[in-house]
Amino acid sequence: MTWQDRFSIAGKVALVTGASSGIGAEIARVFSQAGAKVIATGQSVERLDALAIETGCATIPADIATVEQCNTLIAKAHALHDTVDILVNSAGIAVVGPVLDFDPADWDRTMAINLRAPFLLSKGVAPGMIAAGAGKIINISSQTGVIALPDHAAYASSKGGLNALTKSLMTELAPHNIQVNAICPTVVMTDMGREIWSPPQKSGPMIAATPLGRFGEPVEIADMALYLASPASDLVNGALMMIEGGYSSV
């Protein structure tokens, strides 16, 4: 196998959540460029349609905050393709604020989208991967699942849970040649990232504490996802890939 083959996902079926914007949309673009048969899902029909025109990917609108929509999404994906070779759990929300003022409804929705949905979707694609004897599950987590930030209790808890889910799934699926890994980025300059982190009084201390001195771009996360989706990463399993400019190392 050549190095090009080791890094190839050509012909693989990839289901990417949160693909109507941000990191998920960029992963869908990069995977499509790499030759994968991408199924992009998200809430915005308009944005998914634009992505489909741009990349040629299939699209399934869904709000994975509900159990029913998660199950329906899996059924529709399997109607398009017999199995899903790669699952990227990229959909996520970030509602920030002090614990004392935090709305429990925002907590529940954060957990539903950021943690329960990856559990349900992984559960849904796993049987097909087991039957095929191979598969890749990539969870888009966050550095806040590993280190603490103020006003991020719900988001950090959901991502810490996602990191634990990643490791637990790995122990059950590794015997079937299925790799389960998580990517833990710093702030990424998506629409959501800019909305929360644009104020200099908020971004300044964070950037100052990052040895690289900057935040991330969506394509940098998509490139790591491409590596984890390819055969080149077959020995990488249960890993939390920190892409955060060295923040957690100092």
Catalytic site residues?
Answer: 155
Q: Rounded distance, CA 176 to CA 169, Å?
A: 11
Residue type, 241: M
Distance of CA 206 to the CA centre of its chain: 22
Structure token digits, residue 97: 């604020």
Q: Rounded distance, CA 23 to CA 216, Å?
A: 11
Q: Rounded distance, CA 222 to CA 224, Å?
A: 5
Place of tokens 């959540």: 17
Decide if 137 contacts 169 (C-beta within 8 A): yes
- The pair phi, psi for residue 240, each rounded to 5°, is -110, 100
